[in-house]
A and B are shown apart, each in its own frame.
Chain A
């Protein structure tokens, strides 16, 4: 199988995000990057499939020139090769990314394209779907299990109160959710081999984005905690608040 995994870097989930002076972007100075956690499920799924069915796993990224450091981590997990579509800087508009990915993938004969279900930076959860539409192939998003047999994928996804199962003709785009698998840690040998694996850089020019970020703001400060009572006496009031205010019960 020829499997492509679309992955990208995101700021370390522990980072304190600072807005840039223009008020419309994030200040990237000093940020540590990791593989987008949902993309790790996609990489792991691809590696497991390739180990079982035979085949090759290629990582594909649209992003800043120095995304290669993060891509190497994916290669260290076991992918055979990688392609960086170097857009100069990381792109915030999923439509721009999807177009670039699709233009590249059209020329490849991918049997399967796996993505994370969303980036944990901007949380659009849009790239995978847009990519499938541009390629004219089926898409199932947020899959929680995956099996491949005879040119078809059997997938399952969780929806509110139920679980859906699909059979999908390949090639397809599948976006991966937490719980699909447990992504492996890179081994020392994997890390050392990663630096020798092919990582091709292709310069690309993104199409103009049809949307303009007008502004970004910090989330409102969390209101201070409230003491509603002590011991068992407080339970009825706590239950009422959980039901009526927080609406979690």
Chain B
């Protein structure tokens, strides 16, 4: 059976014809080009980098940015792209959202004209890959405490430190690295092959296994002066990027949940126990009812979030709510779907177990579920509870 995406409230009717056309084309690409590879990639702990150019040919990278080969489209289209890609795998969506929201966005917003000309066209075609280095071994939820730092040496900067858990790290041609210069957080463009820069791979992941995650090590890296992002200072630089990517995640995980729901439903209609389809038992129907409700609520959140973002009146806590709710929703749906497939639910020949494992990462990255809880508590009470 072909993939059927749950749309219980007919949200499709709110989409423009071109938005539906984009959705259909990306969905078809995922079915035809990505799905045949994912099981093997997940087992081999490999990202199918050979597909990067195809994503670029479809103009999917940096789709909301204007100029430099980008499509310049609205946030609904961007959301739909994320959702359709994550229907395939959270690793595929991560690849796109890092490149778009965490690499192209800061270069576009804060880069010099030379930096934009140098990197954006190649990142847009998928010819160049980017990564975003914020998290450090000793500073995750608390990025402001970072120790990676640059020193102004007159004709260059000298960069030292390390970043951890960096998506696309080992395959990146350019890394947007956040480091302190005289105690102030600044963005730097570190290029593949620079002396003193290495990006060893994190192996042995049970989650996002089909995505590249790496350490970034800077050992006296000499950075040309023109490699600093001139347009932003302080934590708001990386946080503004995270808002782009979190927005994409809020949409993306709906795709993972829809894939799990579809798989569990098809499976239970087909498989009989006690001479009846599994889907005819009330306990199983209760699971389907919970999934439908949760997915539909998440879709509603995203439709409005897209409008707020297009109208430029979106606030970071609104994005936190969507990221927090939708990722937890998708994780619950994946776990529930996993049970509905019985033993097959733990096989990589089915999707829900893989989605379930992936979503553990999504729950943690881009601000953990807990941190977004604190953001919402802060928004509600006006009292920050992150630290004492």
Contact = CB atoms under 8 A, between A and B. Distances in A.
Contacts of B77: 188
B71 A188 contact: yes
Given A185-B25, A186-B25, A192 B71 contact: yes
Interface string A4-29: 00000000001000000000000000
Contact of A186 (B17, B58, B63): B58
Interface in A183-219: 184-189, 191-192, 194-195
A184 B57 contact: yes
A164 to B, nearest CB: 30
B166 interface: no
A187 B21 contact: no
A153 to B, nearest CB: 27
The prevalent SS among residues of B at the interface is helix
B22 A185 contact: no
Interface in B327-343: none
B22 A191 contact: yes
A191 B57 contact: no
Contact of B63 (A72, A185, A188): A188
B44 interface: no
Given A72-B17, A73-B21, A195-B17, A189 B71 contact: yes
Interface string A150-184: 00000000000000000000000000000000001
A69 interface: yes
A144 interface: no
A31 to B, nearest CB: 14
Nearest to A68: B17
Given A72-B21, A195-B18, A188 B73 contact: yes
Contacts of A69: 17
B21 A185 contact: no
A188 B26 CA distance: 10
A143 interface: no
A191 B17 CA distance: 10
B2 A191 contact: no
Nearest to B28: A185
B29 interface: yes
A76 interface: yes
Interface residues of A, number: 15
Contacts of B1: 14
Interface in A70-95: 72-73, 76
Contacts of B57: 184-185, 187
Interface string B5-29: 0000000000001100110010011
A82 to B, nearest CB: 15
Interface string A128-157: 000000000000000000000000000000
Instruction: Identify the interface centre among A186, A188, A191, A194: most chain B CB within 10 Å of its CB.
Output: A188
Contacts of A187: 57-59, 71
Instruction: Identify the interface centre among B21, B57, B60: most chain A CB within 10 Å of its CB.
Output: B21
Contacts of B18: 191-192, 194-195
B54 interface: yes
A187 B28 CA distance: 12
A167 B2 CA distance: 41
Nearest to A32: B24
Contacts of B21: 72-73, 76, 186, 191, 194
Nearest to A193: B18
Interface in B14-55: 17-18, 21-22, 25, 28-29, 54
A153 B77 CA distance: 41
A189 B22 CA distance: 10
A76 B57 CA distance: 13
Interface string B54-93: 1001111001000000010100010000000000000000
A191 B24 CA distance: 11
A14 B2 CA distance: 6
Contacts of A186: 21, 25, 58
B33 to A, nearest CB: 8
A238 B25 CA distance: 42
B17 A188 contact: no
A186 B60 CA distance: 11
B54 A188 contact: no
A185 B29 contact: yes
A190 to B, nearest CB: 8
Contacts of A73: 21
Nearest to B16: A195
A188 B60 contact: yes
Contacts of B73: 188, 192
Contacts of A195: 17-18
B22 to A, nearest CB: 6
Given A14-B1, A185-B54, A194-B18, 15 more contacts: A72-B21, A76-B21, A76-B25, A184-B57, A185-B28, A186-B58, A187-B58, A188-B60, A188-B71, A188-B73, A189-B59, A189-B71, A191-B22, A191-B25, A192-B73
Q: Name the 10 nearest CB pairs between A and B, nearest first.
A: A14-B2, A188-B59, A188-B71, A187-B59, A191-B21, A187-B58, A186-B25, A189-B59, A185-B29, A191-B18
9 contacts: A76-B25, A185-B25, A185-B29, A188-B58, A188-B71, A188-B77, A191-B21, A194-B21, A195-B17
Interface of B: 1-2, 17-18, 21-22, 25, 28-29, 54, 57-60, 63, 71, 73, 77
